[in-house]
Chains A and B, each alone.
Chain A
Amino acid sequence: METFASQSALAVFNARVFRELERKSAELEVASQHKSDFLASMSHELRTPLNAVIGFSEVLLARMFGDLNERQEEYLRDILNSGMHLLELLNEILDLSKVEAGRMELELSVFSVRGTNEQAIALVRERAAMHSISVTLQMDPSLDVIESDELRFKQVMLNLLSNAVKFTPNGGQVAVRAARTDHRLTVTVSDNGIGIPPEDRERIFESFQQGQRGPSREEGTGLGLTLCRRIVNLMGGTMSLQTEVGVGSTFGFTVPLPGATVSFAPDIDHNLDPVIVVIDDDRASLELMSAYLADHGVHVVRARDGKEGLDAVRRLQPVATVLDILLPGVDGWEVLEKLQADPKTQALPVIVASIVDEKSRGLAAGAADYLVKPVGRDELLSALRRLHVLPIASIGRSA
């Protein structure tokens, strides 16, 4: 009897604790949502005056309204750099709050790992040169294009690179290496800086912790590595750090490569929607075409140049390809020719969408249709319907 009484008392107690926990976690969720909303709107409110600070500094520095003396130019650069620094901080706060609220989404496209790494390196080249730091890139030759979020990928690279340059002494070396192992891509950024003592190795990935890495030449935002880790996690990967005090540090990340071994197969892994590849070097055009195709039950894969485009078409066997003509390197005509010459891609319909008005040449070269830019939404959709690529609106997906 006594046992029963104590057991039921325990059960009542447990139930109460459980209810309490449930209530608390619901409250926490609401609070965290409020925090994210607050940060998002604050960032926006702060950005507007900041844009004025940056914009007018640039106008004056461009000497649009008269010459500057040395002191004026120096102060204006200080204003501009401080403004840029604040803007970077704001963007990172906004990104972090987005990740934490589960609202950051990856935008997948097919891009070249080398190209993206080179672009990121170009952005730190000037600062590295100021301190006589060499920056090198070593790529696994088998590594070509991958499908991932290009902007986020570049954001992570840029963060790791600017940290490396920032914490490497004058005359030092920064080395970027990218390698593929099975279905994974590993990128590392090594420096021969002062290294990170063991007690700081976990801490530097937390917000606003910069570690005691000696006198830094410039303050960072203290959010970069936190954000990198969150983005890499979102990509399904992990970050790594190898470091020794006095020798240097190697920061890296490993992400899975979806479809890395899919060379020619109908079972595309992301979903069952038919794939349309859009090849265009202009980011805005890519956005526009993707926007046109949104909500039409197709999966849009974007490629930024002819080489990427060819690879994507060969690999994904899309139901249609939208092809720009004026592309860097391999241009649209060449892409068309190569696709026509290959029995595996010969039958795949290509719609040219270009500012170049040479319809008869395009059709003769094997294009299924030819649209002259600017291409409107209806124009693109009806071209795709003529090819029976798009299901008639609202009837649903036939795939």
Chain B
Amino acid sequence: MVARVLVVEDNPLSLKLIRDVLAYQGFDVLTATSGEEGVVAALSNSPDLVLMDLQLPGMDGHEALLRIRADPRRGGIPIVAVTAFAMKEDIERAAAAGFDGYIAKPIDVHALPDQVVGFLSGRPAG
């Protein structure tokens, strides 16, 4: 079965890059361009994995995570933080907030598919 990945990202170029690379690798890719849209898509379209940008205008990635996690039925899906500043404090904050891992920007287009496969198989970050 084809894994469905939801990408939440407000920058259109970053979104397109991630979407196209994952689609090329055969993933079923859904997109959302805001935290609000991301929460709705995560809860109604049953993705297998969510890639969540942290810096979103309005509802940011952390808040979107909390909203998704608050849903008793679908809130348990793996959610991975995508962050431009993969510094220690950001990683710590993301781990503490309940993200299942993180992917650092810039996106490495060669490594991304393996990273996604890793998160889908339930391995810890990396």
- Chain A positions within 8 Å of B, measured between CB atoms, are 44, 47-52, 54-56, 58-59, 62, 64-65, 87, 107, 282-285, 287-288, 290-292, 294, 355, 373-375, 377
What's the least CB distance linking B121 to chain A, in Å? 10
The interface residues of chain A lying within 8 Å CB-to-CB of B20 are: 59, 64
Q: For residues 74 through 126 of chain B, which have their beta carbon under 8 Å from a beta carbon of chain A?
A: 84-85, 88, 91-92, 95-96, 100-102, 105-107, 109-110, 122-126
| Complex: A58 Cα to B107 Cα, angstroms | 11
Is A285 a contact partner of B92 (Cβ separation < 8 A)?
Answer: no
Q: Which residue of A lies closest to B100 (CB)?
A: A374
Contact partner, A51, options B14, B85, B110, B124, Cβ 8 Å: B14
Assuming the contacts A55-B106, A62-B110, asked whether A47 and B84 have C-beta atoms less than 8 A apart, the reply is yes
Q: Does B3 contact A (CB under 8 A)?
A: no
B105 and A377 within 8 A (CB): no
Q: Which 9 A-B pairs have the closest CB atoms?
A: A284-B125, A291-B92, A284-B126, A52-B13, A51-B106, A55-B17, A291-B95, A374-B124, A282-B126
User: Are A107 and B88 interface neighbours, CB within 8 A?
Assistant: yes
Residues of B close to A107: CB separation below 8 A: 88
The total number of A-B Cβ pairs within 8 Å is 84
Contact B21 A59 (CB under 8 A): yes
- Say if the beta carbon of B11 comes within 8 Å of chain A: yes
For residue A57, give the distance in angstroms from its CB to the closest CB of chain B: 9
**Cβ contacts under 8 Å, A54 to chain B:** 106
Contact present for A288 and B84 (CB under 8 Å): no
Instruction: Say how far B54's CB is from chain A's closest CB, in angstroms.
Output: 12
For A44, A283, A288, A355, the residue with the greatest tally of chain B CB atoms inside 10 Å of its CB is A288
Q: Given A54-B106, A285-B125, A288-B125, are A59 and B17 neighbors across the interface (CB < 8 Å)?
A: yes
Cross-interface CB contact of A52 among B17, B24, B95, cutoff 8 Å: B17
- In addition to A44-B84, A55-B106, A285-B126, 16 A-B residue pairs with Cβ atoms within 8 Å of each other are A51-B14, A51-B106, A55-B17, A58-B109, A59-B109, A282-B125, A284-B125, A284-B126, A288-B124, A288-B125, A290-B88, A291-B95, A355-B123, A373-B124, A374-B100, A374-B122
User: In the complex the two chains form, is A64's CB within 8 Å of B106's CB?
Assistant: no
Given A291-B96, A292-B95, CB of A55 within 8 Å of CB of B125: no
Name the residue on B nearest A49 (C-beta): B13
Q: State in angstroms the CA–CA spacing of A167 and B96 once bound together.
A: 46
Known: A55-B107, A59-B21. A374 touches B84 (CB 8 A): no
Chain B nearest Cβ from A142, distance in angstroms: 32
Residue tally, chain B, CB below 8 Å to A: 27
Chain B residues contacting A282 (CB-CB under 8 Å) are 124-126
Cα distance, A35 to B107, chains bound together (Å)? 28
- Report the bound CA distance from A48 to B17 in whole Å: 12
A355 neighbours in B (Cβ, 8 Å):
123-124
Q: Would you give the shortest CB distance from A62 to chain B, in whole angstroms?
A: 7
Q: Is the CB of B124 within 8 A of A284?
A: yes
B102's nearest neighbour on chain A, judged by CB, is A284
Closest to B115 in A: A284
- A51 CB, min distance to chain B CBs, angstroms: 4
By beta carbon, the residue of chain B nearest A374 is: B124
Given A285-B125, A355-B123, A374-B123, does the pair A48, B96 have CB atoms closer than 8 Å?
Answer: no
- Cα A52 to Cα B11 in complex, Å, equals 10
CB nearest to A51 among chain B residues: B106
A-B contact pairs, 22 of them (CB 8 A): A44-B84, A47-B84, A47-B106, A48-B13, A51-B106, A52-B13, A54-B106, A55-B21, A58-B109, A59-B24, A64-B20, A64-B21, A282-B126, A284-B102, A284-B126, A288-B124, A290-B92, A291-B91, A291-B95, A355-B123, A375-B124, A377-B95
Q: Find chain A residues with CB under 8 A from B85 CB.
A: 44
Contact B92 A294 (CB under 8 A): yes
Specify which chain B residues have a CB less than 8 angstroms from the CB of A59 in the assembled complex.
17, 20-21, 24, 109
Which chain B residues lie closer than 8 Å to A285 at the CB level? 124-126
Complexed CA–CA distance, A229 and B126 (Å): 32
Of residues B100, B102, B123, B126, which shows the largest number of chain A Cβ atoms within 10 Å of its Cβ? B126
List B contacts of A287 (CB < 8 A).
88, 91-92, 95, 125
Check A52/B110 contact, CB under 8 A, given A47-B84, A285-B125, A287-B88. Answer: no
Residue in chain B with minimal CB distance to A288: B95
Complex CA–CA separation, A238 to B75 (angstroms): 52
Question: Chain A CB within 10 Å — which of B96, B107, B109 has the most?
Answer: B109
